[in-house]
A and B are shown apart, each in its own frame.
Chain A
Amino acid sequence: MPIQSLKGALQALLLVAIFFAGVWSQSSGVIDDFLFYLPDVQYLAVQHLWLTAISGGLAILVAIPLGIVLSRPSMTRWAESLMQVLNVGTTIPTLAVLALSMSFLGIGTVPAVFGLFVATLLPITRNTYTGLKGVDPALMEAAAGIGMSSTQRLLRVELPNALYVIFAGMRTALTINVGTVPLAFLIGAGGLGELIFTGIDLYDPVMMLAGAIPTALLAIVVDALIATVAFLLVPRGVNPSRA
């Protein structure tokens, strides 16, 4: 019981703290300052989400088939070395990737989408590959012994069983993607980075936070969204969150 009452006390304390923070921000005018940036935030958040959606969507479209191809038995000889190449690819900082793609593709949305696409590709490919490789060999033998063709095995056994891991990859990749989009501002693609970097340059913390807080919230929302989709799509028998 002491732990229960301690928890209750902490919750009450938190509510009081939030209340006073609200009182303080109202009286000091910070809220008004924030509201000043609201139209900017709305416009830039949409731009931000577009960048994520296009680069992330392309990455998913490329990464999952790539992971599937690499996991085929006929690719065993090449798969690990190709995964290593992709691994080395991710060790390059995203900022450097953006800089590189700018030097080839110029300034604007296209190089930003390309840079983000490259950064998002690997986690999804890796998880697709690992998930498919991780399917119990006994299942594969049973599926083959029953008379499933290789396509039927992939669609009915391998993918459903690897889906949870694949979704985990997408979650990580897209959350990182949302958090990386602000850098796209640096090569002229807009997004909430505009408020963050301008805020830093002008030494205007409120402006910076007006960019940073929505970015964090977007990341959380995207994460929750994919988690929900995974919850609904992954078959119940292989879904740890529905066990």
Chain B
Amino acid sequence: MIELDNLTKVFDTPKGAVVAADHISMSVPSGEICILLGPSGCGKTTTLKMINRIVKPTSGKVFINGEDTTGMNTQDLRRNIGYVIQQIGLFPNMTIEQNITVVPQLLGWDKARYRERARELMAMISMEPDAFLKRFPSELSGGQQQRIGVARALAADPPVMLMDEPFGAIDPINRAVIQDEFLKMQQELKKTIMFVSHDIDEAIKMGDQVAIFREGKLVQHSSPDDLLAAPKNAFVESFLGEDRTLKRLNLVKVHEVVSDEIATVSPGDTLETALGRIDDYGYQNAILMVNDQRQPVGLITRAKARTTKGYCRDHFENVPATVTLEDDLRKVASLMFAQDATWLPCVDDEGRVYGQITQRAMTHHLGSRFRAHEAASRNPDSAVKE
């Protein structure tokens, strides 16, 4: 857990004092990633760097796991905080192995232990130890170097990590891959992480919480979903962009929106039955056909059911696409647009039909949060604290 208590930094410049961070108070619960987000010069990096004293705070305190760090020796403090920077900063004079074992060596681990740890870390970042440990940073690609940078920060298993735009200098494709890998690692490692970014999409993807900064002040600190649904003011709103609702699609999973009410037919039913069910349930275009295991096998269209006689098994069309419960709505929306569909069948882990997801349900889900927020802001007294 990281807690900042009225952390302030004033820089004395020839043009007078500049307040880079103004009484920042916030906390990040253990095991969560908090993204510090904002335009350049907003104080997010200064705030981050005050935690490990790369920037010396003018006033205020930092608590790590409840312990006041003010009295701690700077070197000891830093050795217990993982630190990843945008420029990566691998030491070019050292091999990969030496680079990732720097902190364990500083902490005085014995050789066998830190060499073992190096191999462990390489496995963690899915790089082949034998192929890479003896190489030098200049022989690696940017993406590989930043993986090593992350491994170096994790080497002594610090409870807290600070990351300053760690994936900012990596090309978009590799960045997405590294972000995914990192999130996967984080699920197991459960580090408490402060992460500076200027990329709203990265913040939404990586963050359990997002803290938005402006001109040295913390403007809003909330979960990504709350942030997108209920931006606190016009600045946050404009920073998030006009398509912020679309960004929320990334955050909502199918199981939050799915309806388990879905009518189906089986291959042995007649088209007449199918038409009856389409009308009963008020479906516009088609009804799903499932096999004995309730796996979707086809679609019976309304037009076909009305004009033809026979069994469903002889007159079905292919199911355009199905989604799973863990997919996010962004994928669902994309599939709907691609297939020109207003609903998609949703299947569980075994591929059995679980329910359906409709465009209406999606828009309703995304919109309801806005309406709740607007209602709350009209009646401040009854505002629901989220």
Contact = CB atoms under 8 A, between A and B. Distances in A.
Interface of A: 136, 138-139, 141-149, 152, 156-157, 160-161, 163, 235-238, 243
Nearest to B155: A146
A219 B8 CA distance: 60
Contact of B138 (A147, A152, A157, A243): A243
Contacts of A236: 136
A235 B91 CA distance: 11
A136 B136 CA distance: 17
A156 B91 contact: yes
Contact of B92 (A146, A152, A238): A238
A161 B54 contact: no
Contact of B78 (A144, A157, A238, A243): A144
Contact of B54 (A136, A139, A141, A237): A141
28 contacts: A138-B85, A138-B87, A139-B89, A139-B91, A141-B85, A141-B89, A142-B85, A142-B87, A142-B89, A143-B89, A144-B54, A145-B52, A146-B78, A146-B79, A146-B83, A146-B103, A147-B80, A147-B103, A147-B106, A148-B106, A156-B91, A156-B94, A156-B102, A157-B91, A160-B94, A236-B136, A238-B93, A243-B138
Given A147-B80, A156-B102, 10 more contacts: A142-B83, A142-B85, A142-B90, A144-B78, A145-B89, A147-B76, A149-B75, A157-B91, A235-B94, A243-B138
A160 B98 CA distance: 13
Contacts of B91: 139, 142-143, 156-157, 160-161
Interface of B: 52, 54, 74-81, 83, 85, 87-95, 102-103, 106, 136-138, 152, 162
Q: Chain B interface mostly helix, strand, loop or mixed?
A: mixed
Contacts of B76: 147
A9 to B, nearest CB: 41
**Which 5 pairs of residues, A with B, have the shortest CB-CB distance?**
A142-B89, A237-B136, A138-B87, A147-B79, A147-B78
B378 to A, nearest CB: 47
Nearest to A162: B93
Nearest to B137: A237
A143 B89 CA distance: 8
A136 B75 contact: no
Contact of B75 (A148, A238, A243): A148
A110 to B, nearest CB: 40
A139 B81 CA distance: 17
B306 to A, nearest CB: 69
| B92, B93, B95 — most chain A CB neighbours (10 Å) | B93
Contacts of A141: 54, 85, 87, 89
Contacts of B88: 138, 142
Contacts of A139: 89, 91-92
Contacts of B54: 141, 144-145
Given A138-B88, A144-B78, A148-B106, A237 B83 contact: no
B75 A147 contact: yes
B95 A237 contact: yes
B93 A157 contact: yes
A136 B87 CA distance: 10
Nearest to B94: A237
B348 to A, nearest CB: 46
B76 to A, nearest CB: 7
A146 to B, nearest CB: 6
Contacts of B162: 145
A237 B92 contact: yes
Contacts of B102: 146, 148, 156
B94 A145 contact: no
A236 B98 CA distance: 13
A156 B93 CA distance: 9
A160 B103 CA distance: 18
Contact of B93 (A149, A152, A237): A237
A156 B90 CA distance: 12
Nearest to B139: A237
A144 B52 CA distance: 9
A139 to B, nearest CB: 5
B83 A145 contact: yes
A163 B75 CA distance: 26
A100 B136 CA distance: 50
Contacts of A149: 75
A138 B169 CA distance: 13
A234 to B, nearest CB: 8
Contacts of B83: 142, 145-146
B164 to A, nearest CB: 9
A113 B91 CA distance: 39
A155 to B, nearest CB: 11
A161 B76 CA distance: 25
| A152, A236, A237, A238 — most chain B CB neighbours (10 Å) | A237
Given A138-B89, A146-B83, A237 B78 contact: no
Nearest to A137: B87
Contacts of B79: 146-147
| A136, A147, A156 — most chain B CB neighbours (10 Å) | A147
A214 B271 CA distance: 107
A84 to B, nearest CB: 24
Nearest to A161: B93
Contacts of A143: 89, 91
